[in-house]
Structure 1
Amino acid sequence: MLRALLLLGGLAPALPAGPHWAYKGPHGQQHWPEDHPACGGQAQSPIDIQTQRAQPDPSLPPIRPVGYQHPEAGGFSLANNGHTVVLALPPSLRLQGLPHAFAAAQLHFHWGQPGHTAGAEHLLDGHRAPAEMHVVHYDTEHYSNASEAQHHAGGLAVLGVLLELGSDPHPAYDNILSHLGSISYAGQTTSIPSFSIQDLLPQRLDLYYRYNGSLTTPPCSQSVLWTVFQQPVRISLAQLEQLQGALYATAEAEPEPQHLVDNFRVPQELHQRQVLASFPREPEGYSTGKIVAIAFGAAASCLLLALAVRLAAKRMR
């Protein structure tokens, strides 16, 4: 996510201020705790969600977006902040189904690099999807904006949507991806027509994983109530390649431009946290080896039974 969530209030500044950070190199994620102590905390995000260890909680209600289909804003602000592409959202977009009333602030993406189909931040049983979208909200009952809310436990609520590859392009995502050429360089901003944000979400908003975590970039504030949907959204390979190849992490004036790729954080330790699931745990499946063994065992049993019947028939003659 954005450092200090500077775009959460609908603002679109150029590059984020404060200590420089990157995903790799001397200012890479392994060094984040040096300038941002919270990044070394015990409740960091993202995580590798072990689905069989998630605790089913039938009391978790479906996520219910309000105002997502018809945003009041006439247009949205889309920006490249040097770390990701950010779409500022109006606070009229609300979420129900959470402990408090939450209003939308922005959404952004994480992805890999061309030729690689792995770029999401949250993993499911070790699998990293090609990309991930985060929709950031803040608690409107207790805080006036997201910048204030990020300093308090549970002040932010983020929806995590995993993006997998499909055979067809996803029309809702074209509302964003088709404008990336206007914000190729860090610090650039453009205005795009408003559209249904709900169309970016999975159809099943009742199936998700829930845990307490943090922002996935500095300052790594441990203030996020995470909702990671079980069902992915599918985009085409061409759409994924737009994310992977259209943006630069450097300003236009930089003599050596750097492509904006691999903007995802590695999984963090779960420590003592619990991951909840809004749906019952599925029966644990058999491995390929177990299936083969069962098949051979069944075939052998049938063969022995057939031989026994044949021998018994001979003796009776």
Structure 2
Amino acid sequence: MAPIQWILIILSVFALSLDAAEWHYSGEHGIYEWPNEFEQCGEVRQSPIDFPKVEDMTYSKMTPIEFHGFDDPTKYRLKLENNGHTVKVSIESGDVYIEGGGLPGRFKTAQFHFHWGHSGDEGSEHTFDGHNFPMELHVVNYNEKYGNISNAATQDGDGLAVLGFWYQVSDHDNYALAPLINELSHVPVKGSKMDLTNVNLGLLLPIHMDEYNPHFYRYSGSLTTPPCFQSVVWTVFDNKMPISSAQLHMFQTLHEDKEIEGDHYLIDNYRPTQPLNGRIIYRNFEVTSTGPVEQQHQQAQQEVAKPKRKAKINVRLHLED
């Protein structure tokens, strides 16, 4: 058998074994057992993290990230799935990718998913100066030089580029998010899935404002779910996206089991923040002692001055070709 065929077989077995591995956020196989069952979950470059105050980060001049192919829903095909750990939207086909922004290459977009809590007080994985947010969106992209997401996920340091976006509760619905939320009732239990149409990926993200000059934070980390591979270049954006309480509630009514089982709701699907262990956190904007940038970020920090995360355990990235 040719070497390339062996490689494909190994990758297929690898992906299947990951899908079969059982893990949860609480109870048996829960978060605190992950390091015992998945070795890399106990390593030193784990995610998520608590971002320090902006003045305690290191400035690095980075251009804005370029988004390609996000704006034309006729050019890609999407699938919505409740996988028991999160709501995931996979890009089944289409040339959707990101580059620039200091990323080490061109990264093809594979999927995005959400993390949320049981209330509007917590639910994000990453936190800012000890404060958290009700929901966090992760856009998962893999380095094209590695061929597919399963292979890229095992590459230390530069295999994946994940974009993180925080949500904050708004008095009004997020109309860009509405086409997705309207379909959540069709994926109520684990394993349910459907084709997703009329969703514009570009409008889901805050990348269309005329004055958009995105502030973001950058660090080297890992998947936030088993097997916790340390292959992720993380970019978390300072711009907060709105979501109404009613829209957030639609996520909180989903179920984590294959059948509706009482109050087994899909909630609190977030991992606690992990130690920095000496890692440097970068920001792509300068902070001056008297300039408007500092004033803007002081105001932003005041907006997130909500109760700090309670001491409780806190989306599975499905590795796919």
TM-score by length of 2: 0.79
- 2:316: which partner in 1? none
Q: Tell me the CA shift for residue 176 of structure 1.
A: 1.1
Whole-angstrom CA distance in 1 between matches of 2:76 and 2:271: 34
Whole-angstrom CA distance in 2 between matches of 1:282 and 1:127: 23
Whole-angstrom CA distance in 2 between matches of 1:244 and 1:108: 14
Query: Per the alignment, in what secondary structure is the counterpart of residue 171 of structure 1?
Result: coil
Query: Per the alignment, in what secondary structure is the counterpart of residue 172 of structure 1?
Result: coil
Q: For the Cα contact (< 8 Å) 1:69–1:195, is it kept in 2?
A: no
**1:144-184 deviations in whole A, cap 9, x for unaligned?**
11111000021100000001111211111112111111110
Q: Which of 25-34 and 191-200 deviates more?
A: 191-200
Q: Which of 230-239 and 195-204 deviates more?
A: 195-204
- 1:26: which partner in 2? 28
1:269-288 pair list within 5 angstroms: 269-281=275-287, 283=289
Q: Does 1:63 align with 2:65?
A: yes
1:128-207 pair list within 5 angstroms: 128-140=132-144, 142-153=145-156, 154-203=158-207, 204=212, 206-207=214-215
- 1:249: which partner in 2? 256
Q: For the Cα contact (< 8 Å) 2:40–2:227, is it kept in 1?
A: yes
**1:104-159 deviations in whole A, cap 9, x for unaligned?**
0000000001x44210000011110000000000011x211111100002110000
Q: Tell me the CA shift for residue 255 of structure 1.
A: 5.4
Identity among equivalent positions (%) equals 37
- Change over 3 Å in CA distance of 1:267–1:190 after alignment to 2: same
Q: For the Cα contact (< 8 Å) 1:85–1:109, is it kept in 2?
A: yes
Q: For the Cα contact (< 8 Å) 1:38–1:221, is it kept in 2?
A: yes
Whole-angstrom CA distance in 2 between matches of 1:188 and 1:14: 19
Q: For the Cα contact (< 8 Å) 1:130–1:163, is it kept in 2?
A: yes
| 2:193 counterpart letter in structure 1 | T
1:1-317 pair list within 5 angstroms: 17-51=19-53, 52-58=55-61, 60-73=62-75, 75-89=77-91, 90-97=93-100, 98-113=103-118, 115-140=119-144, 142-153=145-156, 154-203=158-207, 204=212, 206-245=214-253, 247-252=254-259, 258-281=264-287, 283=289
Query: Per the alignment, in what secondary structure is the counterpart of residue 252 of structure 2?
Result: helix
Query: Per the alignment, in what secondary structure is the counterpart of residue 161 of structure 2?
Result: strand
Q: How many aligned residue pairs are there?
A: 269
Q: For the Cα contact (< 8 Å) 2:50–2:127, is it kept in 1?
A: yes
Structure 1: which 5+ residue stretches go unaligned? 1-12, 288-317
- Change over 3 Å in CA distance of 1:100–1:215 after alignment to 2: same
Q: For the Cα contact (< 8 Å) 2:221–2:230, is it kept in 1?
A: yes
Whole-angstrom CA distance in 1 between matches of 2:199 and 2:28: 40
Q: For the Cα contact (< 8 Å) 2:51–2:127, is it kept in 1?
A: yes
Whole-angstrom CA distance in 1 between matches of 2:43 and 2:128: 22
Of structures 1 and 2, the larger Rg is shown by: 1
Query: Per the alignment, in what secondary structure is the counterpart of residue 150 of structure 2?
Result: helix
- 2:313: which partner in 1? none
**1:239-295 deviations in whole A, cap 9, x for unaligned?**
1111112x111002x65561100000000001121110000135478x9xxxxxxxx
Q: For the Cα contact (< 8 Å) 1:48–1:124, is it kept in 2?
A: yes
Query: Per the alignment, in what secondary structure is the counterpart of residue 19 of structure 2?
Result: coil
Q: For the Cα contact (< 8 Å) 2:189–2:255, is it kept in 1?
A: yes
Whole-angstrom CA distance in 2 between matches of 1:219 and 1:208: 26
TM-score by length of 1: 0.80
Query: Per the alignment, in what secondary structure is the counterpart of residue 232 of structure 1?
Result: strand
| 2:34 counterpart letter in structure 1 | W
Q: Tell me the CA shift for residue 80 of structure 1.
A: 0.6
Q: Which of 158-167 and 87-96 deviates more?
A: 87-96
- Change over 3 Å in CA distance of 1:39–1:15 after alignment to 2: closer
Aligned-residue CA RMSD (Å): 2.2
Q: Tell me the CA shift for residue 29 of structure 1.
A: 0.6
**1:179-235 deviations in whole A, cap 9, x for unaligned?**
111110000111121432111112446310000100000000000000000111111
